[in-house]
Structure 1
Amino acid sequence: MLTPAYAAITLGSNSFNMLIARTKGSQPHIIAKYKRKVRLAEGIGEDGLLSQEVIQRGLDCLAMFAQMLAQHHIQPQHVAVIATATLRTVGNAEEFKQRALPLLGHPIDVISGMREAELIYQGMVATTCGQGRRLVIDIGGASTEFIIGDGHQVLFKTSLPMGSVTYNRQFFSSMPLQQLDFDDAKRQVLLTLAEHRKTLRDLGWHCVVGASGAVQSVVEVLMHRQLSETITLDVLMQLKAEILAQKDSSCAGVIGLCGERAPTFAAGVAILLALFELLGIEHLSLSGGALREGVLMMLAQRVHDQA
């Protein structure tokens, strides 16, 4: 029997994503993917409010998602809409939610950082081969989640306020970039990690898995250059040197970097570099999935229970 299609929508601080799937066997089978770089966190003003321009950018994306929901004949009860760091913190999140409701016909669930970490981990486990204790790092636009787990068991999780969009605004908005910009970013990562740094290192791990666009962008550069897709400190140091040689924010001289990822590339590399150095990471591999896949797994179970 054909199961109904369902849609997992995640509203991140950098990208909005939608996965549409049906269950085959006992696993979600993705039939369509939609994504747009909304860069919500870019629109946070000094008053802590989202600008109307960025709100409209987000609503335009949700209107497109709504068209796709109709096209795929998704029922409202088979949709989950999850929002993360930016809508957790801005003062006019309620305005955005109210204006989005008639577009999607479904309320937005703004989840806590801890719930986000849980869903990221479950999305990683469902999509990424590997055994033993794993450290999962998901660098988003405005927050970074750290999870240590073994199999399906989560041993540690936290969500911290650092991300590629917010760090880009704070440290990397003035070209050409300098070594001092990377130093300032590392200092901020150290302050933000604070007491969690010792806990993470004491728990330890067998391997490190990275999720999100920051990691994906580095892996895409390595793939374009036909190099190993494993991220190391040497790889990040080389990319930093290339970034420092760029004259403008397009980073056109970084071979293999997609233009869409260029605006937050320096900030993502800086956060990764700081984490490698502060946590003693040697190798990091790209996760097969994260938050959106975790939401999809949650939704698949809900649809199954409703059947």
Structure 2
Amino acid sequence: MPTPSYAAITLGSNSFNMLIARTKGGQPHIIAKYKRKVRLAEGIGESGSLTPEVMQRGLDCLGMFAEMLALHKIEPNHVAVIATATLRCINNADEFNAKAIPILGRPIEIISGMREAELIYQGMVATTTGQGRRLVIDIGGASTEFIVGDGHQVLFKTSLPMGSVTYNRRFFSNAPFQELDFEDAKQDALVVLGEHRKTLKDFGWHCVVGASGAVQSVVEVLLYRKQSEAITLKVLNQLKEEILAEEDAKLSGIIGLSSERAPTFAAGVAILIALFEHLGVEQLTLSGGALREGVLMMLAQRILEETI
């Protein structure tokens, strides 16, 4: 008897993602992927609520997801909808959820930063080869998760309020960008890291894995240029110089940077530079998966338990 298809939907502060899979050989086998840059964190007003325009942008994406769920004949109880930092902090999350339920047929589960970190790590382990102690860094739109683990065991995890969308609003809202913008972002990252900086360095690691759009953006540029995929501080500082040489926020002169990635690229590079310098990171590679893959693993296990 064939296993049912299921869908993991993650509502991030920058992107909304949906993975559709079927279990084969005891593991989720992805049969379709859908993604849209919603940039939810851009829409948080001074009142702490999501603006109607950006809320509708998110709901429109959910409408597209719903059409794909119907196309793939996914049952509502085989769908997990997980939301992260922006929906954790806005005042009108209940309103967004109430409008989303009729679209998806499922309520949104808003998870804590610590639960997000756990799922990110499990998604990384399931998709990324490697041994020894690893530091995983996931730079989202409004939060960054740090996890130190060995194999499947999580040794330390935390979620901190720094992200490519929120830092873009705070430090990179006026082009052309200046050296001071990067310095201000770096100083803020140091404050946000706080006592976790020493804790992370005390744990130590054999390698560092990045699981985020910010890391993906840099890797895409390197691949386009036929350079090594490994990110170093030298690579990041070179990209910073290229960003500073651009006259507007479109960053159209940066070879290999897509227009979709451009709006948060400077902020992402700034956060990466800050973390490399503050944590003493020498090299970072891209993870094979993160939050959405972790949610998919969780959903696959839940469905397996239901059928036993």
TM-score, L = length of structure 1: 1.00
Task: Give aligned-pair identity as a percent.
Answer: 78
SS at match of 1:177: coil
Code of the aligned partner of 1:196: H
Structure 1 unaligned segments of length 5 or more: list them.
Answer: none
The corresponding residue for 2:155 is 155
The corresponding residue for 2:286 is 286
The corresponding residue for 1:166 is 166
The corresponding residue for 1:68 is 68
| Distance in structure 1 (CA, Å) of the matches to 2:108 and 2:15 | 15
| Distance in structure 2 (CA, Å) of the matches to 1:69 and 1:206 | 40
- Please state how far the C-alpha of 1:174 moved relative to its aligned partner: 0.2
Code of the aligned partner of 1:130: G
The corresponding residue for 1:6 is 6
Code of the aligned partner of 2:300: A
| Distance in structure 2 (CA, Å) of the matches to 1:252 and 1:55 | 28
The corresponding residue for 2:209 is 209
Code of the aligned partner of 2:142: A
- Please state how far the C-alpha of 1:146 moved relative to its aligned partner: 0.1
| Distance in structure 2 (CA, Å) of the matches to 1:160 and 1:172 | 20
The corresponding residue for 1:303 is 303
SS at match of 2:183: helix
The corresponding residue for 1:130 is 130
| Distance in structure 2 (CA, Å) of the matches to 1:274 and 1:254 | 21
The corresponding residue for 2:33 is 33
4+ residue segments displaced more than 2 Å: none
Code of the aligned partner of 2:243: I
- Please state how far the C-alpha of 1:136 moved relative to its aligned partner: 0.1
Cα RMSD over matched residues? 0.4
The corresponding residue for 2:112 is 112
| Distance in structure 1 (CA, Å) of the matches to 2:270 and 2:120 | 22
Alignment of 1:35-54 (within 5 A): 35-54=35-54
| Distance in structure 2 (CA, Å) of the matches to 1:60 and 1:28 | 27
Code of the aligned partner of 2:148: I
Alignment of 1:187-206 (within 5 A): 187-206=187-206
SS at match of 2:228: coil
The corresponding residue for 1:57 is 57
Deviations 1:174-224 (A, max 9, x none): 000000000000010000000000000000000000011100000000000
| Distance in structure 1 (CA, Å) of the matches to 2:150 and 2:97 | 36
- Please state how far the C-alpha of 1:28 moved relative to its aligned partner: 0.2
Deviations 1:149-169 (A, max 9, x none): 000000000000000000000
Structure 2 unaligned segments of length 5 or more: list them.
Answer: none
The size of the alignment, in residue pairs, is 307
The corresponding residue for 2:227 is 227
SS at match of 1:62: helix
The corresponding residue for 2:240 is 240
Code of the aligned partner of 1:125: V
Structure 1 position 259 matched with structure 2 position 259: yes
| Distance in structure 1 (CA, Å) of the matches to 2:76 and 2:29 | 19
SS at match of 1:21: strand
- Please state how far the C-alpha of 1:254 moved relative to its aligned partner: 0.6
| Distance in structure 2 (CA, Å) of the matches to 1:304 and 1:258 | 39
The corresponding residue for 2:142 is 142
SS at match of 1:231: coil
Code of the aligned partner of 2:108: I
| Distance in structure 1 (CA, Å) of the matches to 2:249 and 2:183 | 19
| Distance in structure 2 (CA, Å) of the matches to 1:14 and 1:45 | 16
- Please state how far the C-alpha of 1:306 moved relative to its aligned partner: 1.0
Code of the aligned partner of 2:115: R
SS at match of 2:155: strand
SS at match of 2:157: strand
| Distance in structure 2 (CA, Å) of the matches to 1:306 and 1:72 | 21
Code of the aligned partner of 1:188: D
| Distance in structure 1 (CA, Å) of the matches to 2:85 and 2:255 | 31
| Distance in structure 1 (CA, Å) of the matches to 2:33 and 2:142 | 23
The corresponding residue for 1:83 is 83
- Please state how far the C-alpha of 1:2 moved relative to its aligned partner: 1.2
| Distance in structure 2 (CA, Å) of the matches to 1:98 and 1:217 | 33
